[in-house]
């Protein structure tokens, strides 16, 4: 019985060592053998102890009394027990050997699994390295693509600004062409007017010549008249007509009754004509204006079947030649006008050119009515009156303005002549102008542009404050020409001059501009340009919108850079 716990302890120790070997598969077979030898030595030590105990018991049994002598049967029983314990120990040893073999097999399996795991890890590492390498390659390719896109973007940006510049140049060129076209149209109208007046004067002269020829002096006077007409062949058309009329009038004095009726038509102040009432009445009865303007009538009146006098023959050559030259010039102008092509068609969109009034050159008495005469004679007076009205604007409160003063202020001071007609119809005094709201400005004056309405509103409020006792703001002295040309050039943003010019941005408007106004109405989309404009406005506010103060501060910086705030671009 004493040997049972020792065998169990040795078995547990062997199990612990086997577990240790399982935990550390890297230990060799030598360690296992050493543990086995130590375990067998312990068993031998236990057997020796048992032998000593048996020998001691035997000595005690031999030295004791006979009653204490063990019988052979008991000894056999004890021996049988010891043999059983030994058999059990051998079985435990065999079990331990079997466990050892099983653990070796498990160790082999674990080693193979670890090798497989190592192989898997290596493959995974290789895949990871391939992924990293591919990622780096893709990243470099992406960076190259981004750089290429950035270069392409810069190229497109430059092309965009180049196209904008070309579009601006094309717009300026188109504007210049448009102005030239307008000048040519005005010249065409003037030529048409001169042609119509020439036709009318020619028709009148051809009808007056027979009468005057019947009253003419014989031979010599007519010869003088012929010479004078030949001399005038090289003069311009209107001058030739006027000179021919004066020649006829002086070489053939009219009847005393006709002399009283001779008059200068006030309706043609630029080309006055000398005619008689009798001849004018006869011309009205004999032909209509359309017949007079026709080339057939002109040829028939000059080359009729009657025998014309010398004056009439000499009259035919210079005037007809001048008329033909005028018509040739008119045809050339039309061809030049047609040569503009699409540009002229673009400017012709929505533009309604009014034709000449057919009654403008009508040789009737209604043309010389007092109203027409007063209008034609008062053009110069109207300009002088407009300047006087502008002076009243500077010296008179707005509430005391009359309709003419309001119109002069709107046209000259505010540079808005496009609204003068509606203003003349709806605004009759300065009090009415002071009471207008933004809706009234839009509906009554037709001011559709929000910036134009703001300009008028700021100006009206400035004049209202001036009537309340304060003077006009210094910003009122800065007109839109100075803002668009000088100020924008000083801050280095002259590319926006046209937009500021079109929206009539003056000093008052500058003081009210915000970032959204610059971006929405004035096409200033870049943030740095917006900041530059707003800082320039802030500088003007600091100097109270005084150009003189700004110039003084800049003049002080010419020798020393002590005030960089006022530096120009």
Which of 433, 451, 472 is the last residue in one of the domains? 472
Which run of H or of E encompasses 283? helix 277-286
Cα 285 to Cα 270: distance, rounded to the nearest angstrom: 26
Domain assignment present for 369: no
Backbone angles phi, psi at 293, to 5 degrees: -75, -15
Backbone angles phi, psi at 274, to 5 degrees: -105, 110
- What distance lies between CA 308 and its chain's CA centroid? 72
pLDDT digits (tens, 9 = 90+) for 293-318: 443 343 343 334 344 444 344 444 44
pLDDT reading at 121 higher than 70: yes
pLDDT reported for residue 237? 41
Other Cβ atoms within 10 Å of 264 Cβ, number:
10
Which of 143, 171, 199 is the last residue in one of the domains? 171
pLDDT reported for residue 304? 40
The pTM assigned to this predicted structure is 0.37
pLDDT reported for residue 120? 94
| H-assigned helices in 340-479 | 342-348, 370-377, 379-395, 403-408, 420-426, 430-434, 438-444, 450-467
483 and 407 within one domain: no
For residues 262 and 274, the answer to whether their CB atoms sit within 8 Å is: yes
Which of 171, 199, 214 is the last residue in one of the domains? 171
* Residue 503 burial by Cβ neighbours in a 10 Å radius (0-12, 13-18, 19+): buried
Domain assignment present for 128: yes
Domain assignment present for 371: no
554 and 415 within one domain: no
Q: Which pLDDT band, with edges at 50, 70 and 90, does 332 fall under? A: low
Number of domains in the chain: 4
166 and 75 within one domain: yes
pLDDT digits (tens, 9 = 90+) for 202-250: 877 776 555 444 444 444 333 334 333 333 333 344 444 444 444 444 4
128 and 14 within one domain: yes
Write a three-state SS string for 476-519: HHCCHHHHHHHHHHHCCCHHHHHHHHHCCCCHHHHCCCCHHHHH
Q: Which residue has the tokens 């003077």?
A: 471
Identify which of 319, 339, 165 has the alpha carbon closest to the alpha carbon of residue 240: 319
Domain assignment present for 348: no
214 and 88 within one domain: no
Cα 226 to Cα 231: distance, rounded to the nearest angstrom: 9
556 and 491 within one domain: yes
Cα 360 to Cα 265: distance, rounded to the nearest angstrom: 13
Q: Which pLDDT band, with edges at 50, 70 and 90, does 146 fall under? A: very high
For residues 478 and 510, the answer to whether their CB atoms sit within 8 Å is: yes
271 and 251 within one domain: yes
Cα 25 to Cα 23: distance, rounded to the nearest angstrom: 6
For residues 238 and 197, the answer to whether their CB atoms sit within 8 Å is: yes
Domain assignment present for 356: no
480 and 457 within one domain: no
Domain assignment present for 134: yes
554 and 501 within one domain: yes
Domain assignment present for 498: yes
233: its two tokens: 């062949």
Query: Could you say which DSSP state residue 402 is in?
Result: B
The overall average pLDDT reported for the chain is 71
What CATH number is given to the structural domain containing 460? 1.10.150.50
| H-assigned helices in 24-63 | 29-63
213 and 96 within one domain: no
249 and 231 within one domain: yes
144 and 19 within one domain: yes
pLDDT digits (tens, 9 = 90+) for 21-55: 555 555 677 788 888 888 888 888 888 888 888 88
Identify which of 363, 336, 317 has the alpha carbon closest to the alpha carbon of residue 187: 336
Identify which of 459, 462, 509 has the alpha carbon closest to the alpha carbon of residue 482: 509
Domain assignment present for 58: yes
Q: Which residue has the tokens 């030595």?
A: 41
Which run of H or of E encompasses 118? helix 72-214
Mean pLDDT of all residues in 398-411: 89
- For 19-33, b/e burial (b = at least 16 CB within 10 A) is eebeeeeeeeeeebe
422: its two tokens: 């509606």
* Residue 339 burial by Cβ neighbours in a 10 Å radius (0-12, 13-18, 19+): exposed
SS3 category, 26: coil
SS3 category, 65: coil
Give the residue with greater pLDDT, 336 vs 537.
Answer: 537
Domain that holds residue 521: 476-566
pLDDT reported for residue 229? 35
Q: How many residues does the chain have?
A: 569
Pairing of strands 263-264, 274-275: antiparallel
Q: Which residue has the tokens 């904008």?
A: 164
């Amino acid at each position: 019985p004493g040997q049972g716990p020792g065998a169990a302890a040795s078995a547990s120790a062997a199990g612990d060592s086997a577990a240790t070997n399982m935990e550390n598969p890297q230990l060799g077979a030598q360690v296992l053998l050493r543990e086995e030898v130590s375990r067998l030595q312990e068993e031998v030590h236990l057997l020796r102890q048992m032998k000593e105990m048996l020998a001691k018991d035997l000595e005690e049994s031999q030295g004791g009394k006979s009653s204490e002598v063990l019988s052979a049967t008991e000894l056999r029983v004890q021996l049988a027990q010891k043999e059983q314990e030994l058999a059990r120990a051998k079985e435990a040893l065999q079990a331990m050997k079997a466990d050892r073999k099983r653990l070796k097999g498990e160790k082999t399996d674990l080693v193979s699994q670890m090798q497989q795991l190592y192989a898997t890890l290596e493959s995974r590492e290789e895949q990871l390295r391939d992924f990293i390498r591919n990622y780096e390659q893709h990243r470099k390719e992406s960076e190259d693509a981004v750089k290429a896109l950035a270069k392409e973007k810069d190229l497109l940006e430059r092309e965009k600004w180049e196209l904008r510049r070309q579009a601006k140049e094309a717009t300026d060129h188109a504007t210049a062409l448009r102005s030239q076209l307008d000048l040519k149209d005005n010249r065409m109208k003037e030529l048409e007017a001169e042609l119509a007046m020439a036709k009318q004067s020619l028709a009148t002269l051809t009808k007056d010549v027979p009468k005057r020829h019947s009253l003419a002096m014989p031979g010599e006077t007519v010869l003088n008249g012929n010479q004078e007409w030949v001399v005038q062949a090289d003069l311009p058309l209107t001058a030739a007509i006027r000179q021919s009329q004066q020649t006829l009038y002086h070489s053939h004095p009219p009847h005393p009754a006709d002399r009283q009726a001779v008059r200068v038509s006030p309706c043609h102040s630029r080309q006055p004509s000398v005619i008689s009432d009798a001849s004018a009445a006869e011309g009205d009865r004999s032909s209509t204006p359309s017949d007079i303007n026709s080339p057939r009538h002109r040829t028939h009146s000059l080359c009729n079947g009657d025998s014309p006098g010398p004056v009439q023959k000499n009259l035919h050559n210079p005037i007809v030649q001048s008329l033909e030259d005028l018509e040739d010039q008119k045809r050339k102008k039309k061809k030049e006008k047609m040569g503009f092509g699409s540009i002229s068609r673009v400017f012709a969109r929505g533009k309604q050119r009014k034709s000449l009034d057919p009654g403008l050159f009508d040789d009737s008495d209604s043309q010389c009515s007092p109203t027409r005469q007063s209008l034609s004679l008062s053009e110069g007076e109207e300009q002088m009156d407009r300047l006087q009205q502008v002076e009243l604007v500077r010296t008179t409160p707005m509430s005391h303005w009359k309709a003419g003063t309001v119109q002069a202020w709107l046209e000259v001071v505010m540079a808005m002549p496009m609204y003068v007609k509606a203003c003349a119809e709806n605004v009759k005094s300065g009090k009415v102008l002071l009471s207008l709201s933004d809706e009234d400005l839009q509906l009554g004056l037709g001011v559709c542009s929000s910036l134009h309405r703001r300009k008028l509103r700021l100006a009206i409020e400035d004049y209202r404050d001036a009537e309340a006792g304060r003077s006009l703001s210094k910003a009122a002295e800065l007109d839109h020409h100075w803002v668009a040309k000088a100020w924008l050039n000083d801050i280095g943003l002259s590319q926006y001059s046209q937009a500021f010019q079109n929206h009539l941005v003056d000093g008052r408007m500058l003081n009210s501009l915000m970032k959204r106004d610059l971006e929405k109405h004035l096409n200033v989309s870049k943030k740095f340009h917006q900041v530059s404009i707003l800082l320039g406005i802030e500088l003007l506010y600091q100097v109270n919108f005084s150009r003189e103060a700004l110039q003084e501060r800049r003049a002080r910086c010419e020798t020393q850079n002590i005030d960089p705030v006022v530096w120009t671009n």
